[in-house]
Chain A
Amino acid sequence: MSAAHHIPSSEAILACEGLSKHFGGIRAFTDVAFQARRGEVTAVIGDNGAGKSTLIRCLVGVHVPDGGEIFFDGRPRPFANPDEARKAGIETVHQNLALIDELTVAQNLFLNREIVRRIGPIALLDRKAMREQARAMLSRLSINMPSVNQRVRRLSGGQRQAISICRAAGSGAKLVVMDEPTAALGVQETGNVEALIRRLREQAVSVILVSHNFDQVRRLSDQIWVMRAGRMVATVRSSETTGNELVALVTGAA
């Protein structure tokens, strides 16, 4: 199971060793070693229930693992909750996108990191600055959005995904974690999101991508990690593998 276990850790932005997590009697994953290299797109694949999402949620502080160590930027035990992870530079694009339907695009992009002006003891929102910066954030990733004042409820699935990714990438994040970013999207919208992920990599943002879609991870990622039944069973360079090999690794037929 320990194919690429000992890459120098300075290359890794996020890594873990011997990580385990169970919920009551149900084991989510056991003794997992994993690392995501700086500036690369790292994919985690596996069948339903293999433990991918739980692993990711442990890595970004949503769950506390039962055993093992996590390293972010070489530092052990980096964060106790998602808020600390966010402050350290890890942004997560949640499977449900974590958008607020009734708020505008700009409000969503700046949610919980609003820009304020202080007038004495009172801090008032600088809505103009947020709208302008929201436009800049969208155009930097070439996201086409009619208006930043539009309520998110009225956007399409692909646009919502783009907003969520844009928010994750927008704050100078070192690492963006995405859980099934194209699972609910059509062909064209999937293409747009994939282009967005490539643009993130061009801007030297590290990405962890959880996906079911083997073709997609081969197109987008540099390194692929394979989970099966709660264990990390293999890791391969994307350029050196085939779809058939990935299927074999995921199903255990190899």
Chain B
Amino acid sequence: MSTPEQNAPVQTAGAAEESRPSLSALLLDPSFWADWASVVGLVGLVIVFGIAQPVFLSIANLQALLLAAAILVVLSIGQTFVVATAGIDLSLAAAVMLGAIILGLVNAAGYGIFLACVLAVIATSAVGFLNGVLITAGKIPDFVVTLGTLSGITGLGLILSGGEPTMVGSTFLLKLASGSFGPFGYPVWVAIAAVIVAHIALYHTRFGVHLLATGGQVESAGALGIRTNRVKIAAYTISGFCAGIASLLLVARIGSAEPLINTSLLLNSVAAVVLGGVSLFGGRASILGPAIGALMLTALVNGLTLLSVSAFYQPLAVGAIVVLAALIMRYQK
């Protein structure tokens, strides 16, 4: 978060305090590495994989990498809003599955792809809203509520779909998945748009400040008249909305709605948030950090695949990196 003052000539004692420390001091300061862990990690991975397997840096691979990262980026943004309130959304990947199934069923019933997409997003947003209401009005811990909805909507998805995948043969979704504008495929643009909107919401609106205040010190925020319950419900609803967008991207990518939960999406969304320097205790968040964290995790899997490392090693690598990142985070200012 740079501010205009930092670039202005130093005039007062106050401004001097705000000026930047020297580069060497910056590099020796562990909190610098903590704040930029995801960027440093991403750059490190790109260098290592680029040397070990030059194909990694080919335009085609980088485009494929970004395409593969789009869904995780969108989910990580949703998870970020929840984690910023000192909560966690374990139902995120299950909501993606529910959105996909609703999309598939509504489309198969002949109501048209647009209505199907809208209903899918409404359904996942409703799941998020329900999470928020149960946590605030029901005064149940976030972990328990979202674990419950995780299981509940998994069952709902199986009941609705009968356990069978539904083919979605829509030209709109096919275009969404395979079309591109400029250097990037449409899913990448969706992810970029989500990053921009979320960044503005977090840093440039009253809602964003109230969200961080609620996550930081909920009682103090309440004492100043911030409606902390509403803020929390909004955060979970945003998370559900992001799950809906991700479900559209997922169905577009694989061409069918599967009644399967991709648990690695959930774990990776939390991992990306941690890598992005967002405090799990709430009150401190960014959007770019988790987005880059999601890119980093995708690059890790992509690079290991290119190096012909067995897929069995990928979760191990992701786990090691997340724990390492968490260790570095302890040095955050």
Contact = CB atoms under 8 A, between A and B. Distances in A.
Interface of A: 82-83, 86, 92, 94, 96-103, 107, 111-112, 114, 116, 122-125, 127-128, 131, 135, 145-147, 149-151, 154
B17 A146 contact: yes
Nearest to B203: A125
Residue among B204, B220, B221 with max Cβ neighbours from chain A (10 Å): B220
Interface stretch (B104-112, B223-231, B300-308): B223-231
B147 to A, nearest CB: 27
Nearest to B15: A147
A164 B212 CA distance: 18
Contacts of B139: none
Given A100-B283, A102-B216, A147 B18 contact: yes
A149 B283 contact: no
A101 B217 contact: yes
SS of B interface (majority): helix
B20 interface: no
Nearest to A91: B224
Contact of B220 (A86, A99, A114, A122): A99
B209 A114 contact: yes
Contact of A100 (B200, B204, B212): B212
B283 A101 contact: yes
Residue among B209, B219, B284 with max Cβ neighbours from chain A (10 Å): B209
B85 to A, nearest CB: 12
B59 interface: no
Contacts of A135: 14
A160 B220 CA distance: 13
A135 B216 CA distance: 24
Contacts of A107: 209
B18 A149 contact: yes
A111 B213 contact: yes
B200 A149 contact: no
B3 A103 contact: no
A98 B224 CA distance: 7
